Amino acid sequence: MDKQQLAFVFPGQGSQKVGMLAELGAEYPIVKACFEEASEALGYDMWSMVQNGEQEQLNLTENTQPILLTASVAVWRLWCQRGGMTPGVMAGHSLGEFSALVCAGALSFSDAVRLVRARGQAMQTAVPVGVGAMAAVLGLEDQQILSICESISGDEVVEAVNFNSPGQVVIAGHAGAVEKAINALKEAGAKRAMLLPVSAPFHTSLMKPAGEKLEEALETIPVSSPSIPVIHNVHAQTESDAEAIKALLVKQIYSPVKWVDCVEAMIARGVETGVECGPGKVLSGLNKRIHKPLNCLNIDCPDSLAATLAAIAGE
């Protein structure tokens, strides 16, 4: 396989669960070493929280973000240690974009761990718990959803925030406006429109205060040009300029995640195989719906690591 045919993708919030990567950690010391490095940066035992903590604790966004970043970086380092092929391009869903930038050498790991914890805290405090909400909408065209959200938004806002796959869009905003939108979307023929167990309306304009805090945090953090191109959520393009990357990371907090466009951009570059680097298979499922011929693999346990190494070496 030519490396241009290979993409690595990094999961975002929702892929975390207690006990994740336990088998990889038991078999490969590099995984736990990565968690130790992150724990040192944040001042608490992250591996212990992941293996023995409560799911509620893992779901707090200020914990979820550094934990998922660390899990993805650990899997990437293991992949490199095992002689896995370097991909031609990378992308990450929301938080996963930070994981991609670390693995592409644009951000240092310890800086990124601290940065995403600050990002999580800023996102959580931007809108008080209970004021905002998010909901998944299945079975409607993007344009219908955008129109309905626009018609409901006034003093309270509701916006389409994650374009995850054809027929699967996430909306978010003020809880009351989201509730109204759910009812209107069902009336318009949505197969499902259901609230998500999320504590803040991510990727909406309500997150602008969090963007300002992230911008401040980024001022002191060095960013360099990635050694592997990273496709960004905001505009589904790659970027090599460090200041432009910082600006995109800030904008991403209060802008929609254009995941469909990101995957289509990979396909346009000649990607035929996508590897989900980190816990779960959420992105593999989305990617297959976006582009059926895409060969979707994942790495989150020894068996899937071996299978992915063999599949890519064999092509």
Examine the domain organization and report whether 192 and 231 are in the same domain.
no
Shared domain for 92 and 11, answered yes or no, is yes
Mean pLDDT of 34-53: 96
Average of pLDDT values for 92-109? Answer: 98
Do 141 and 156 have their domain in common? yes
Average model confidence (pLDDT) for the chain?
95
| Average pLDDT of span 162-189 | 96
Q: Are residues 12 and 90 in the same domain?
A: yes
CATH code of the domain covering residue 264: 3.40.366.10
Boundary of a domain, candidates 148, 164, 198? 198
Question: 156 and 221: one domain?
Answer: no
Reported confidence tier of residue 262, pLDDT bands at 50, 70, 90: very high
Here the CATH number for the domain that contains residue 164 is 3.30.70.250
**For range 24-49, the mean pLDDT:** 97
pLDDT of residue 104: 98
Query: 214 and 301: one domain?
Result: yes
pTM above 0.75, yes or no: yes
- Average pLDDT for residues 261-273, to the nearest whole number? 97
Output the 3-class SS for the chain.
CCHHHEEEEECCCCCCCCCCCHHHHHHCHHHHHHHHHHHHHHCCCHHHHHHHCCHHHHHCHHHHHHHHHHHHHHHHHHHHHCCCCCCCEEEECCCHHHHHHHHCCCCCHHHHHHHHHHHHHHHHHHCCCCCEEEEEEECCCHHHHHHHHHHHCCCCCEEEEEEEECCEEEEEEEHHHHHHHHHHHHHCCCCEEEECCCCCCCCCHHHHHHHHHHHHHHCCCCCCCCCCCEECCCCCCECCCHHHHHHHHHHHHCCCECHHHHHHHHHHCCCCEEEEECCCCHHHHHHHHHCCCCEEEEECCHHHHHHHHHHHHCC
pLDDT band at 315 (very low <50, low <70, confident <90, very high): low
Domain count, the chain: 2
Q: What is the mean pLDDT of residues 227-249?
A: 97
Predicted pLDDT at 218: 95
pLDDT band at 61 (very low <50, low <70, confident <90, very high): confident
- Mean pLDDT to the nearest integer, 95-121: 97
93 given a catalytic annotation:
no
Same domain, 188 and 254: no
Segment 161-167 shows an average pLDDT of 96
Q: Are residues 71 and 188 in the same domain?
A: no
Q: For residue 139, give its domain range.
A: 132-198
| pLDDT tops 90 at residue 264 | yes
The per-residue pLDDT for range 129-150, each reduced to its tens digit, is 889 999 999 999 999 999 999 9
**Whole-angstrom Cα distance, residue 148 to residue 103?**
39
For residues 180 and 220, membership in a common domain is answered with no
Average pLDDT value for residue range 82-90 = 97
Whether 81 and 30 have beta carbons less than 8 Å apart is answered as yes
Q: What share of the chain in percent tops pLDDT 90?
A: 91
Query: How sure is the predictor about 184, in pLDDT bands with cuts at 50, 70 and 90?
Result: very high
Residue % of the chain over a pLDDT of 70? 100
Last residue of a domain, which of 198, 217, 239? Answer: 198
The pLDDT of 96-125, averaged and rounded, is 96
pLDDT score recorded for residue 165? 96
Both 52 and 145 in one domain: the answer is no
Catalytic residue among 72, 99, 165, 203: 203
Are residues 211 and 295 located together in one domain of the fold?
Answer: yes
| Choice among 94, 199, 255, 284 that is catalytic | 94
Q: Is 255 a catalytic residue?
A: no
On the question of pLDDT at 197 being above 90, the answer is no
Q: Which residues contact 143 (CB under 8 A, 6 or more apart)?
A: none
pLDDT at 274 over 70: yes
Asked whether residue 139 falls in the same domain as residue 273, the answer is: no
